[in-house]
């Protein structure tokens, strides 16, 4: 017990496998990804559109309703450049050979944004306000990984 009291780090081997229901709204969101579409849902009171969809508006607490196709283009709201990642074996950090860009992205027609990767651009060329387009996987199937990343629209702002 005294070892744990003084430990700054402990190693606990875990193998956690679980399943959970994504819920009615996210089920539809994923199904639309399978059709290479981004959809959100509108608040009937304040008219804001949320992507991914939410059941309750975070501004006026009304129940949302009314699906809206958004994008496919989107705008960079903020971004960061990752130079390290978590090593799944050790749990520690390891350097990335190529920096990875992660952005807060707002699809055209949406009032919310989500975090996703941006490829095909270097950190030096990233800008807030940059226009992006989705990159779909070769065979979308209604799963989160149908949209692995966004990339800059050529010549777009
Ligand atoms: Zn609202």
Confidence of residue 155 (pLDDT cuts 50, 70, 90): low
* pLDDT of 1 strictly over 60: no
9 part of a folded domain: no
> What letter would DSSP give residue 125?
G
62 C-alpha to center of ligand 1: Å? Answer: 6
Report the distance separating Cα 26 and Cα 69, nearest Å: 14
Residue 67, pLDDT > 60, answer yes
Contact 132, 73 (CB under 8 A): yes
Any domain includes 30: yes
6 within a domain of the structure (yes/no): no
Q: Token match 């744990």: residue?
A: 4
The rounded Å distance from CA 64 to ligand 1 centre is 8
Number of domains in the chain: 1
Q: pLDDT tens digit string along 75-109?
A: 999 999 999 999 988 889 999 999 999 999 999 99
Q: How far, in Å, from the CA of 42 to the mean position of ligand 1?
A: 8
Q: Ligand 1 centroid vs 44 CA: distance in angstroms?
A: 7
Ligand 1: distance of its center to the CA of 77 in Å? 21
Q: Is residue 12 part of a domain?
A: no
Q: Token pair for residue 32? A: 């639309």
Where do the DSSP E strands lie in 16-63?
38-42, 49-50
Kindly state whether residue 132 falls inside one of the protein's structural domains.
yes
Q: What is the dihedral of CA 89, 21, 115, 145, to 10 degrees?
A: 70
């Amino acid at each position: 017990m005294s070892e744990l009291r003084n430990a700054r780090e402990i190693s606990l081997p875990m193998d956690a496998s679980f399943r959970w229901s994504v819920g009615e709204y996210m089920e539809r969101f994923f199904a639309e990804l399978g059709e290479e579409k981004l959809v959100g849902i509108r608040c009937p009171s304040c008219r804001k559109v949320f992507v991914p969809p939410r059941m309750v508006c975070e501004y006026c607490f009304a129940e949302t309703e009314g699906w809206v196709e958004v994008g496919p283009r989107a705008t960079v709201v903020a971004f960061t450049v990752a130079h390290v990642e978590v090593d799944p074996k050790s749990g520690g950090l390891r350097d990335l050979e190529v920096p990875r860009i992660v952005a807060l992205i707002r699809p055209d027609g949406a009032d919310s944004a989500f975090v996703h990767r941006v490829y095909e651009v270097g950190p030096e060329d990233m800008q807030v306000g940059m226009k992006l387009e989705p990159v779909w996987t070769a065979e979308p199937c209604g799963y989160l990984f149908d949209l692995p990343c966004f990339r800059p629209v050529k010549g777009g702002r």
